[in-house]
Structure 1
Amino acid sequence: MSRPTTTRPDRRARWRTVAATLAVVVATTVTGGGVGTARAHGGSPANPVPVVTRAALDPALVAGRGADVRFLEQEAEHARTDGTPIGPDRTPYTLTSEASGRRAVSLAPGQYVEFTLPAATNAVTVRYSIPDAPTGGGITAPLDVSVDRRPVRTMTLTSQYAWLYNQYPFTNDPTADLLHPDWWITECSCVPAETTPAPVVAKPFRPHHFYDEQRLRLDRTYPAGSVLRLTVPRRSVAAWTVIDLLDSELVGPPRIVPVAANVLAFGADPTGRRDSAAAIDRAVAVAHRTKLPVYLPPGTYQVNRHIVVDDVTILGAGNWYTVVKGREVALDTPAPDGSVHTGVGFYGRPAAEGGSRNVHLSGFAVEGDVRERIDTDQVNGVGGALSHSSIDGLHLRHTKVGLWFDGPMTDVRVTNTIIVDQIADGLNLHTGVTNSVVRNNFVRNTGDDALAMWSEKVGNAGNTIDRNTVQSPVLANGIALYGGTDNTVSGNLVADPVREGSAIQVGARFGAEPFTGHLSIRDNTTVRAGTYELNWKIGLGAIWFYALDRSIDADIRVVGDHYLDSTYNAVMLVSEWAVKDRYSITNVRFSDLRVDGTGTSVVSARTAGSAAFANVDARHVGAVGVNNCGSFHFTPAGSEFGLTDLGGNDGGWLAPWQLPNTITCDDRPPVVPPPPPSAW
């Protein structure tokens, strides 16, 4: 969400400085050194068999879940390298915690990592991190790309869109003092304004958002078995370059639309040297009158403001070929909505003005220039109110939020879209969005909730978030639901949330309307989920229910989910301490779940209420199966939270003596890391 994750002061602890972060890269959690491969399966050292993963897992473990994408993922830790593998580590504010699978490879100048291509490839995406400038703002550094020892191109990496610091809403300045000196600081367990003198925190304070990614079309198509090498030149100014993964892809030819309002005919510049916003506006106006689509041929089009769309179709040649790219521009005076900047984006009219209808955007990339988080700014890739509309096959990068819809509005479909490297959310259905679908999208490296439904003021209803993949949200949750009626979350794959959230959250918070009707959460897979909540100093669940503003008592069914390698609990139900005697969580039913590995418990209950369980199988549980604290009154009658055994719960995690409400409260049980997930 593009706002604080709580209304309380920021309270985080244990975090490392940048120096310690860099030490992680070059010294700690090293799993190997010298030339070699990490867990490459088969093949020879000279040409290992490629290890293809999904969310750093064996694809067989997540078959049928998550987005069906065109690219193949290869983690750097499985590739051949003379660099230094790093990780695993899930401690926030470290390079390893934000890496896919919590592992990566660090390269010094002159070192390489190389990948054996698993299929014919003509385009790749590299996810990487390089250092910030000493005073912030980022640096650039080269990375040589070769295939079968034949030079292809030198990429120019940048950290200009990475490296945030300090307290919410963060800063690009590593030398900044505390943004909120009156907030609780967990590093010293105090409120600075109440101490004399105020506590001193190490600078830079709480570095994060380390990674970025870059796409490259190769000079030709290379067959399976070719070896693509990434080498840091010895001349590089970057002291280290961390390579997280490589996505390889076979991109088809560009789409041609001969009968259309071609933006070139209206003066658009495909070289990106001149601003094309006015030319695109003219094409949109003509297309609106003639009912033709707008066509954006291959090229890069400079656009530094919103393109307002209504009753129009805009088609690109494909998101590898057509790029709409712009700078963030400071406004002379703030806009009525509070924006102090504008930037590239396709926007429907505001709902208060009637919104837009019948807008269809397809087959192009939107690349912004957002480097700081200003929540009032409308600098999103797609925004406004778009009813009876579709967004398909876009690639959204370096905007504040990939897609932020402000309703009331109905029937928008977001499909087959890639959303990466956002400062805040990936997608948010906000305020009265109904009967809409978010399906088969890929989201990685968001600065807040990756996919969210926020029923602020007006409830969202009848929406579905289905078959999406979410990787490495740096802050908050993979999928977050804040109120609403009759919504569904199904078939998603969520991996590696980093801090202050988890894979899936059901939250009565942020002033959202209540949950009513039914909520269906089914057939999702989470992996390495559940972060350490520093406000409470406890671990969260892979899925967690949070009653902060009101009770949660809708008909909620969680069916068929798989929770793999949960850092703490698989399931958590919790109320804020200040309202624990006012609000409860009831009427939640869990069935047909698989829990493969928890650092602590299968279920952690820290609220009044109840839940029922049927056919929940668990193994490799680190502590007691049920950690039942209720609302912490520890009455002679037992916990204020009751569990119902509906049968078929295997693995010994739900023992008869725990039912219905035995107090088994261990406030902070020790964490026992489980083994890696495996076939059930």
Structure 2
Amino acid sequence: MSAAVTVALTSGLLAATAPAAHGAAGAALPFSSVEAESAATTGTRVGPDYTQGTLASESSGRQAVRIGSGQRVEFTVPRAANAVNVAYSVPDGQSGTLNVYVNGTRLARTLPVTSKYSYIDTSWIPGARTHHFFDNARLLLGQNVQAGDKVAFESTGTQVTVDVADFEQVAAAAGQPAGSVSVTSKGADPTGNGDSTQAFRDAIAAAQGGVVWIPPGDYRLTSSLSGVQNVTLQGAGSWHSIVHTSRFIDQSSSAGGVRIKDFAVLGEVTERVDSNPDNFVNGSLGPGSSVSGMWLQHLKVGLWLTGNNDNLVVENNRFLDMTADGLNLNGNARGVRVRNNFLRNQGDDALAMWSLYAPDTNSSFENNTITQPNLANGIAIYGGTDLAVRNNLVSDTNALGSGIAISNQKFLDPFSPLAGTITVDGNTLVRTGAMNPNWNHPMGALRVDSYDSAVNATVNITNTTLTDSPYSAFEFVSGGGQGYPVRNVTVDGATVRNTGTVVVQAEAQGAATFRNVTATSVGAAGVYNCPYPASSGTFAVTDGGGNSGWSSTWSDCSTWPQPGQGNPDPDPNRNLAKGRPATATGSQDVYTPGKAVDGDANSYWESANNAFPQSWTVDLGSAEPVRRLVLKLPPQSAWQARTQTVTVLGSTDGSTYTTVVGAQGYRFDPATGNTATVSLPDTSLRYLRLSVSANTGWPAGQFSEVEAYRTS
């Protein structure tokens, strides 16, 4: 890992800005990012949390800062800059603005914030919940700031959760290339008021073999472009030339030679409709094409490529806030290079190769930086021949995804399974892997998956760094439940630091050889080797030498190891209930049982009204000696004091419950933090149940957090 990226992971700076050294993970980016949790603030820090469906779990570093009216978060600028992009979230259905201050002086311009492009629901995807909470908004500051200066953002009334700020020195707008055809010469309106679609088409027709020039301005297109070939579409820079459309190019084939560079395409996609071509490019650019220097935002997919795209190069672009994939090579991709791109907040796989209809071959994802895909994988390879994933930096994956997935999941037929040699080299994965709600156990940071057919390709995983994986580091599974084998895998050279459960999660028949894999701070055991389904066969973990720190094996295949279940627990004072599965006899609207274990005291569970008693239950994952509970309601003064009558019950099997603490009234008073503490006698329980029989403040049971501790 380069020194610049090492600083990024430990001091709140997310991205390197100098050109990456050969073999370094991630992209060389034109901006430096600072995490809100490392900034000064009068707001409230949120997280860390890995629970699906929470703001913190989708944030960079799994932490963010919430500010209310008049509250601020103030960043120390890491480098000379004149522009900033802010990743943020506001409550569903709300919009507003942030005041901006430079060294204490308020700017005339404000930063708009909105939930318009957030809160996506994909009910047709099993295990998906409402997700995609964050959005990005950018602003030219109108002045230069230097390293060490202060830039602050202040809420003007709307509650805003600020995640990260990207500081950038934006160059002046480029000039028009000689001999190019300007879209304004064909009638395009740079104010964005008129429809410029026909002007773009006329400029493309006039510039065959040459350059179509998009001057600084805002251009509105009302329908997609097609028949684009043998032409360059060039803007004055992605902060200066801006095209507003949700469908830029839609064509099934092209003779190729298309070069698209240096402008922004901003869409208006507010929900994911898979049948709609709401993409920057849908279909084909043709052979020998390229896409570079683009800012792509608020689309369904950046590039959904299904036709002949041989030798396509996609580099130096930004993909932000897609409701589905960032880029998907959907078959027929030969010799494609996708490199040095930045992708944040994708609603499906950030980068994917999917070998539908024909295999993707001899193509690669290299030196990309990917953060916060909020439904699927950072990088996914679904079938294909002789493919490579090299030197990428992937962080903070969420539900249903790993940092990198090498898979034979076909989705549709005809599908070309993995073949030849699949090279996975030099990648860095940070806080990747997630609890899969369909499997009720996790996906590893790096997954090899014989989902619909055996993995028979040669899979070489080399020189990998895996840090802070919430669950396992390497997973081998047949995710479709058919027990297909995973064969011919070699893991050579890996550094595993602070993995939550195990280093190797083996759930398929087959074999892998491990060499020079070193692990420190392993949460539970070195290896979980339990076939899925149970009768499907064994997985051979072959020690090729040079391994250390992960020699133990999880002994009980009837239970899944929980983070920190090793001996000793790396955090003996941790909240045992946080992030665990929760259920209840009833709930109101969005106030679901999981809100009481999401690590956010401002969200809460509320039972069905006027139907006492109501109960709430959490599965701690294994029998634990719980000695103390901390019960919370939201800390705001609007929550007036109340007393809830609660009985505490416990179970080891989830069916037979005994009373641990009999019914008592617990006082929740905002003057003392709306918190009540319950002491438990010496007892061991896996399932903790709270039965609420009365509430003096509302006709329902209510908890914003239920915390369980081993310590009295």
In structure 1, give the amino acid aligned to 2:218: T
Equivalent residue runs for 1:595-634 within 5 Å? 595-631=496-532, 633=534
Deviations 1:239-278 (Å, cap 9, x if unpaired)?
A: x111001100001111112411011111111111111111
> Is 2:478 the partner of 1:575?
yes
> Is 2:244 the partner of 1:314?
no
> Is 2:64 the partner of 1:104?
yes
Q: CA deviation at 1:51?
A: 4.7
> Is 2:252 the partner of 1:350?
yes
Question: Are 1:52 and 1:72, in contact at CA under 8 Å, matched by a contact in 2?
Answer: no
More strand by share: 2
Question: Are 2:15 and 2:32, in contact at CA under 8 Å, matched by a contact in 1?
Answer: no
After TM superposition, the structure 1 stretch with the greater mean CA deviation from structure 2, 568-577 or 437-446, is 568-577
Question: Are 1:530 and 1:540, in contact at CA under 8 Å, matched by a contact in 2?
Answer: yes
- What CA distance in whole angstroms lies between the structure 1 residues aligned with 2:214 and 2:429? 38
Question: Are 1:98 and 1:209, in contact at CA under 8 Å, matched by a contact in 2?
Answer: yes
| Map of 2:272 onto structure 1 | 373
Change (3 A) 1:649 1:663: same
Change (3 A) 1:129 1:649: same
Question: Are 2:359 and 2:383, in contact at CA under 8 Å, matched by a contact in 1?
Answer: yes
Gaps of 5+ in 2: 1-9, 572-712
- What CA distance in whole angstroms lies between the structure 2 residues aligned with 1:666 and 1:76? 41
- What CA distance in whole angstroms lies between the structure 1 residues aligned with 2:33 and 2:50? 21
Q: How many equivalent residue pairs?
A: 551
> Is 2:324 the partner of 1:421?
no
> Is 2:551 the partner of 1:654?
yes
Equivalent residue runs for 1:140-179 within 5 Å? 140-152=95-107, 153-165=109-121, 167-168=123-124
Change (3 A) 1:272 1:222: same
Q: CA deviation at 1:632?
A: 5.2
1:585 to 486, 495, 519: 486
| Map of 1:29 onto structure 2 | none
| Map of 2:336 onto structure 1 | 436
- What CA distance in whole angstroms lies between the structure 1 residues aligned with 2:534 and 2:119? 43
Give the ranges of 4+ consecutive aligned residues of structure 1 lying more than 6 Å apart after TM superposition: 59-63, 673-676
> Is 2:427 the partner of 1:530?
no
| Map of 2:135 onto structure 1 | 212
Change (3 A) 1:624 1:144: same
Change (3 A) 1:603 1:439: same
Question: Are 1:92 and 1:499, in contact at CA under 8 Å, matched by a contact in 2?
Answer: yes
Question: Are 1:612 and 1:644, in contact at CA under 8 Å, matched by a contact in 2?
Answer: yes
Gaps of 5+ in 1: 1-49, 134-138, 170-182, 187-204, 327-342
Task: Give the 3-state SS of the residue equivalent to 2:198 in structure 1.
Answer: helix
Deviations 1:315-343 (Å, cap 9, x if unpaired)?
A: 100101110003xxxxxxxxxxxxxxxx4
Deviations 1:474-531 (Å, cap 9, x if unpaired)?
A: 1010000000000000000000011011101111112431111100000000011110
Question: Are 1:62 and 1:493, in contact at CA under 8 Å, matched by a contact in 2?
Answer: no
Equivalent residue runs for 1:18-29 within 5 Å? none
- RCO greater where, 1 or 2, for CA within 8 Å and sep 6 or more? 1
Question: Are 1:411 and 1:435, in contact at CA under 8 Å, matched by a contact in 2?
Answer: yes
Q: CA deviation at 1:232?
A: 0.8
Q: CA deviation at 1:546?
A: 1.5
Change (3 A) 1:227 1:63: farther
Change (3 A) 1:166 1:578: closer
- What CA distance in whole angstroms lies between the structure 2 residues aligned with 1:537 and 1:577? 14
- What CA distance in whole angstroms lies between the structure 2 residues aligned with 1:577 and 1:372? 28
- What CA distance in whole angstroms lies between the structure 2 residues aligned with 1:118 and 1:86? 23
Question: Are 2:377 and 2:403, in contact at CA under 8 Å, matched by a contact in 1?
Answer: yes
Task: Give the 3-state SS of the residue equivalent to 1:409 in structure 2.
Answer: coil
Task: Give the 3-state SS of the residue equivalent to 2:279 in structure 1.
Answer: coil
Deviations 1:72-112 (Å, cap 9, x if unpaired)?
A: 00000011111101110010111111110000000010100
What TM-score comes out, normalization by structure 2 length?
A: 0.74
Question: Are 1:627 and 1:666, in contact at CA under 8 Å, matched by a contact in 2?
Answer: no
- What CA distance in whole angstroms lies between the structure 2 residues aligned with 1:463 and 1:67? 18
Q: CA deviation at 1:70?
A: 0.6
Equivalent residue runs for 1:53-452 within 5 Å? 53-54=13-14, 64-133=24-93, 139-152=94-107, 153-165=109-121, 167-168=123-124, 206-233=129-156, 236=157, 238=158, 240-259=159-178, 260-288=180-208, 291-308=209-226, 309-326=228-245, 343-347=246-250, 349-351=251-253, 355-386=254-285, 387-452=287-352
Task: Give the 3-state SS of the residue equivalent to 2:398 in structure 1.
Answer: coil
Task: Give the 3-state SS of the residue equivalent to 2:242 in structure 1.
Answer: strand
Question: Are 2:309 and 2:336, in contact at CA under 8 Å, matched by a contact in 1?
Answer: no
- What CA distance in whole angstroms lies between the structure 2 residues aligned with 1:439 and 1:71? 17
In structure 2, give the amino acid aligned to 1:671: P
Question: Are 2:23 and 2:391, in contact at CA under 8 Å, matched by a contact in 1?
Answer: no
> Is 2:475 the partner of 1:552?
no
Question: Are 1:324 and 1:344, in contact at CA under 8 Å, matched by a contact in 2?
Answer: no
In structure 1, give the amino acid aligned to 2:547: N
Change (3 A) 1:630 1:279: same
Question: Are 1:527 and 1:564, in contact at CA under 8 Å, matched by a contact in 2?
Answer: yes
Deviations 1:550-598 (Å, cap 9, x if unpaired)?
A: 1001011000011111111100001146411xx2100000001111111
Question: Are 1:515 and 1:552, in contact at CA under 8 Å, matched by a contact in 2?
Answer: yes
Largest Rg, 1 or 2: 2
- What CA distance in whole angstroms lies between the structure 1 residues aligned with 2:190 and 2:453? 52
Question: Are 2:83 and 2:141, in contact at CA under 8 Å, matched by a contact in 1?
Answer: yes
Change (3 A) 1:631 1:92: closer
Question: Are 2:289 and 2:309, in contact at CA under 8 Å, matched by a contact in 1?
Answer: no
Task: Give the 3-state SS of the residue equivalent to 1:283 in structure 2.
Answer: helix
- What CA distance in whole angstroms lies between the structure 2 residues aligned with 1:452 and 1:166? 19
In structure 2, give the amino acid aligned to 1:427: L
| Map of 1:503 onto structure 2 | 403
Change (3 A) 1:258 1:548: closer
Deviations 1:391-440 (Å, cap 9, x if unpaired)?
A: 00100000100111112431110000000000100000001111000000
What TM-score comes out, normalization by structure 1 length?
A: 0.78
